[in-house]
């Protein structure tokens, strides 16, 4: 019987920015039974893997390999020989100083089918994110990629230092931080001018990117003073001089800021994207999870007699989503609301209603319950029936105020927020180390739940080193009442408003 063999995809994961994965690389992760990944492969890429996929970390961090290369080779053969689809996720490009060639040789010898999916190499991406074009018609038409540390078991170097020093316009050295002095000395010894522009780009394309520049003769001292550590690329050539005009990535307003996002995971994606695009390193630590109520009876009963209501008021996107889920489940659609006036708190809630073809009659100027009350002051609601589908245990100010105005209010639970504890250990460790720059809160419940995740005896010590940003004054009041010092409060009580307030704060700082 023929032995069943699997397949191995050697996929270049790109230089660090998860957005630089190729479409084919993403597909290989999605269809993999096993993902074998490196230290430099962005962790976000693992989110593309199937829920049943086996994820195996093999290290490959400079000087600290969780699994030696021979062990990795054997692992690929073992998994593929079991008939599994294996995606070998390697930082950068597999065939540019990624030892992909060695892994392919082992697969060929074992008769394992394989494919190579090239990736965006850090040699190109990191300088580009640092504002350094490797070639330029006014400066050079040649570029060379060189390893910063050769095989330590080799008897002699096969790097032609003379040719590099005199015959190549731009040099890019991989993994050369620890050998920076040796590299610069060799180039100067073989004729390259000590005043040749040079740069060191650390953690290229990630929020931790840092770039220092100098000359061939000064870069070693400058890098040491700046505390530059691996992973980093050395770029040498006249094109480095273009960086001051062309740098863009490191001008982003939140570059390198570590920000904790406590919003529920389903609602966090837009906020995360805004922060990431501004250069922040985001840690998702959702403290609330939005779930259905224990019983749908109350909401279903209200939906069954929609014809009785004059007004429908939504206070959140979640309320809209759950309401329409139950409405459609009752074999009806938006036409059931044709006679009802609709109000919403905030543009996001109003936009969610537009997804169902419903335009709001009232959108308050400020995005809080008090503004809804104010908006209704000029509208006769006495004797009118109002349906208010919202979160369990929401603030009572809105139904109480409408009742005082003579309205008949049905305050119905459409969803429940529960405490969540994703990434808590990572978050606590970073807080203890003083690495978190900002905690973000988008509702009072996120604040309350977040505090429950912190050890009471360490609360003051953990939060005193970080900034706190709140979506509006109600959330800020809750945070302050629980002992948080609030530094940022959005003037517009929306996610874009919170983002803008954070950018303004950190830009000024």
User: What is the dihedral sign for C-alpha 184, 185, 189, 190?
Assistant: negative
pLDDT at site 423:
85
Nearest to 283 by CA among 64, 453, 69: 453
Q: What is the block-wise mean pLDDT of the chain (509 residues), using blocks of 10 residues?
A: 74 93 97 92 89 89 67 94 95 91 94 96 96 95 88 69 94 93 95 97 94 97 95 96 95 95 83 94 89 94 95 92 95 93 88 93 71 78 93 85 91 89 89 95 91 93 94 94 96 92 94
Q: What pLDDT score was predicted for residue 4? A: 55
Which residue blocks in 278-360 are alpha helix, DSSP H? Answer: 297-304, 317-329, 347-354
CB within 8 Å of 366: residues ≥ 6 apart: 493
**What gap in Å lies between CA 163 and CA 167, rounded to an integer?**
5
- The reported pLDDT for the residue numbered 369 is 65
Distances (CA, A) of 196 to 73, 144, 184, 322, 446: 41, 16, 10, 63, 53
Q: Where are the beta strands (DSSP E) in 179-269?
A: 197-202, 210-215, 232-236, 258-261
Count of alpha carbons within 13 Å of 115, Cβ hemisphere only?
15
Dihedral, CA of residue 60, residue 65, residue 70 and residue 76, to nearest 10: -50
Helices 317-329 and 347-354, axial angle in degrees (round to 10): 20
The angle at the Cα of 14, spanning 250 to 277, to the nearest 5 degrees, equals 35
Give the end-to-end CA distance of the chain in Å, rounded to a whole number: 70
Would you please indicate which residues are annotated as catalytic (active-site) residues? Answer: 38, 60, 175
Residues, the chain: 509
- What pLDDT does 171 receive? 97
């Amino acid at each position: 019987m023929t032995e069943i063999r699997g397949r191995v995809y050697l996929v270049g994961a790109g230089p660090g920015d998860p957005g630089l994965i190729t479409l084919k690389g993403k597909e290989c992760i999605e269809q993999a039974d096993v993902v074998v990944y490196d230290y430099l492969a962005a962790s976000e890429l693992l989110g593309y893997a199937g829920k049943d996929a086996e994820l195996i970390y093999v290290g490959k961090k400079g000087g600290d390999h969780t699994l030696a290369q021979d062990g990795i080779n054997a692992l690929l053969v073992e998994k593929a020989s079991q008939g599994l689809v294996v995606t070998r996720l390697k930082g950068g490009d597999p065939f540019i100083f990624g030892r992909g060639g060695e892994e392919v040789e082992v697969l060929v010898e074992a008769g394992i089918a394989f494919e190579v999916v090239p990736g965006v190499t850090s040699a190109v991406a990191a300088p580009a994110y640092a504002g350094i074009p490797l070639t330029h018609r006014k400066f050079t038409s040649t570029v060379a990629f060189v390893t910063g540390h050769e095989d330590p078991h080799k008897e002699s170097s096969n790097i032609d230092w003379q040719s590099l020093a005199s015959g190549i316009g731009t040099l890019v050295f991989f993994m050369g931080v620890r050998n920076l002095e040796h590299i610069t000395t060799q180039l100067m010894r073989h004729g390259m001018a000590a005043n040749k522009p040079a740069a060191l780009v650390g953690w290229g394309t990630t929020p931790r990117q840092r770039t220092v520049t100098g000359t061939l003769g000064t870069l070693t001292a400058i890098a040491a003073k700046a505390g530059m550590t691996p992973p980093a690329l050395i770029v040498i050539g006249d094109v480095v001089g273009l960086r001051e005009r062309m740098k863009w990535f490191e001008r982003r307003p939140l570059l390198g800021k570590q920000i904790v996002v406590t919003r529920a995971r389903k609602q966090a994606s837009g906020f995360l994207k805004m922060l990431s695009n501004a250069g922040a390193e985001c840690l998702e630590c959702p403290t609330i999870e939005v779930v259905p109520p224990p019983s749908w009876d109350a909401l279903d009963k209200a939906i069954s007699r929609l014809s009785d209501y004059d007004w429908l008021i939504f206070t959140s996107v979640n309320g809209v989503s759950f309401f329409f889920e139950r409405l459609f489940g009752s074999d009806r659609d938006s036409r059931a609301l044709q006679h009802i006036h609709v109000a919403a708190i905030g543009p996001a809630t109003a936009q969610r209603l537009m997804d169902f073809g419903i335009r709001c009659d009232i959108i308050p100027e400020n995005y809080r319950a008090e503004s809804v009350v104010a908006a209704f002051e000029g509208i006769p609601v006495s004797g009118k029936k109002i349906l208010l589908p919202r979160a369990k245990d929401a603030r009572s100010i809105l139904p109480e105020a409408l009742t005082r105005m003579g309205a008949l209010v049905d305050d119905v639970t459409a969803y429940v927020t529960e405490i969540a504890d994703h990434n808590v250990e990572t978050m606590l460790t970073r807080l203890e180390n003083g690495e978190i720059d900002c905690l973000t809160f988008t509702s009072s419940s996120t604040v309350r739940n977040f505090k429950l995740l912190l050890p009471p005896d360490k609360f003051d010590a953990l939060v005193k080193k970080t900034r706190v940003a709140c979506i509006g004054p109600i959330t800020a009041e809750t945070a302050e009442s629980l002992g948080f010092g609030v530094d940022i409060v959005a003037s517009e009580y929306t996610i874009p408003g919170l983002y803008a307030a954070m950018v303004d704060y950190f830009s000024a700082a």
